[in-house]
Amino acid sequence: MKVHIEKIESYDFDKIYQFLETLQLEEILKDKKKILLKPNLLGAFLPEKAVTTNPIVVDAVITHLKNIGKDIILGDSPGGSTSVKLVWERTGMKQLAEKHNIPLVNFKTGGIIKKKTDTIEFPITKYIWEVDAVINLCKYKTHSLMSYTGAVKNLYGLIPGLKKSDYHKEHPDHTQFAKVISGLYSLVKDRIAINIMDGIVGMEGEGPSAGDPRNFGVMFASKSASALDFVASSMMGFQPDKLEYILPSLESDNLEISEIEIPDKWQNFKFHKVKIKKIGLYIKILAYSPKILKDVFKKHFTYYPDFNDKCRKCNICVESCPMQVMTLNKGDAHPSIDYDKCIKCMCCHEMCPYQAIYVHKSFLAKFIIK
Ligand code: SF4
Ligand code: SF4
């Protein structure tokens, strides 16, 4: 399975377009007319925040698809209670839809189809079965809960609206949540014709929304989201076999690691000192530690969402909390959290449009997580 990697230092439309031409989309989409583009539109963030797929990348993909005669729709279901209208506007998608005269679809409306793995049932947007193929336009970022987010995780947005938060409630443990992500992937992967990832400016640190933009200067593409993530996460400095949803997703694709092909010059490439968070990995380490070590860890290894002074009292985090343990009282500077009931899913941290929620870490957590 090929993973294409191209050095593209800035959002230069022509260079991105040339990269798309090398992917032979005409061949990949040869019997397919109606194409759904699924960018990462996590929330109402401006492109320079590097949370969402950059509109210049989406513009180049739309232009190329139109040039090869495809009909396009563009859609997503942003997380939490964020206004979809605001998301379209801030991320630049509204302007693109107007420029190209294509429909924007909100997965919260338009209906769902229920699909089930052995253990988990998912309501998935109907749109992916109403088109001939889906192109996954993901973003290259770290993730405070799952460590890394790229192609496979972007497909979590196919679950409409707040239902996404419910899975955190039902599967609070990191390992269980990884099964949610890989389980969903097994159900939708055959609808995805190709995955194209914007890593020109990605995110490091407290991703997926409150981290620091980083100019990785690279774009990726592959027919397999799991192969793409295996390669891209490794280039960030992760051990991809430790990211719990990657190996099961490769299994869904019937792929061995040895079958992943990348250009020679990228074989052993790693970005220098990426700020990666390993909260999920340490939860796993804890799970396998002897009890005495576990007790010491539990006492000193703590992390939880906390607030800085950027809060604008928009209430989005309160409405997005799957455990409903956040309250915002009149006169308070920011919401408060009932930490006894908080499951540390970090949905609030992820959904805050103003980066007002950070991950507070004890000294030991800071030392280990970096
Ligand atoms: S307060 Fe935040 S981290 Fe805690 S359960 Fe609610 S959304 Fe999750
Ligand atoms: S922390 Fe404040 S600004 Fe951020 S989502 Fe919550 S209420 Fe809105």
Residue 173 maps to a domain: yes
Strands 104-106, 71-76: pairing kind = parallel
What pLDDT was estimated at residue 303?
Answer: 83
- Domain ranges, residue 310: 285-369
Mean pLDDT by 10 residues, the chain (370 residues): 98 98 98 98 95 98 98 91 91 98 95 96 97 98 91 96 84 88 98 98 93 97 98 95 93 97 95 78 66 77 90 94 94 96 91 92 69
From 283, 318, 323, mutation site for ligand 1 pocket: most ligand atoms within 8 A of C-beta: 323
Pocket test for ligand 2, best of 352, 358, 359, 360 (most atoms within 8 A of CB): 352
Residues 90 and 126 reside in one and the same domain: yes
* Dihedral in degrees, nearest 10, Cα atoms 332, 334, 338, 344: 180
Largest CA distance in the chain: 64
Residue 136 pLDDT: 98
Q: What pLDDT score does 165 carry?
A: 82
Q: Pick the ligand that lies closest to the CA of residue 310.
A: 2
pLDDT of residue 285: 66
pLDDT at residue 222, as a whole number:
98
Q: What is the pLDDT, as a whole number, of residue 212?
A: 95
DSSP 230-284: HHHHHHHT--GGGSTTHHHHHHHTT--GGG-B--GGGTT---TT-----HHHHHH
CATH (domain of 172): 3.40.50
343 within ligand 1 shell (Cβ under 6 A) = yes
Residue nearest ligand 2's atom 3 by CA: 311
Give the containing element (helix H, strand E) for 153: helix 151-154
Which of 321, 324, 349 to probe ligand 1 with, by most ligand atoms within 8 A of CB?
A: 321
Indicate if ligand 2 lies below 6 Å from the C-beta of 357.
yes
Same-domain check for residues 169 and 307 = no
> Which of 197, 231, 266 marks a domain boundary?
266
Sign for the pseudo-dihedral over CA of 49, 52, 57, 58: negative
Please tell me if the CB atom of residue 321 comes closer than 6 angstroms to any atom of ligand 1.
yes
Q: How far apart are CA 144 and CA 208, in angstroms?
A: 7
Beta bridge partners of 133: 35
Would the CA dihedral through 140, 146, 151, 154 be positive or negative? negative
Domain count, the chain: 2
Peptide bond connecting 172 to the previous residue in cis, omega within 30 degrees of 0:
no
321 & 250 share domain: no
Residue 313 lies in a domain: yes
Q: Residue 349 is part of a domain; what is its CATH number?
A: 3.30.70.20
Question: For residue 368, what pLDDT is reported?
Answer: 61
- Ligand 1 centroid to Cα of residue 325, in Å, is 7
Burial 8-25, CB ≥16 within 10 A → b, else e: beebeeebbbebbeebeb
In DSSP terms, 214 is beta-bridged to 202
Asked if residue 112 belongs to a domain, the reply is yes
In-domain check, residue 275:
no
> Which residue's CA is minimally distant from atom 7 of ligand 1?
321
Contact status, residue 160 vs residue 107, Cβ threshold 8 Å: yes
Alpha-carbon torsion (99, 100, 102, 105), positive or negative: negative
Q: Contact at 8 Å (CB) between 54 and 198?
A: yes
Assess whether 46 and 195 both reside in one domain. Answer: yes
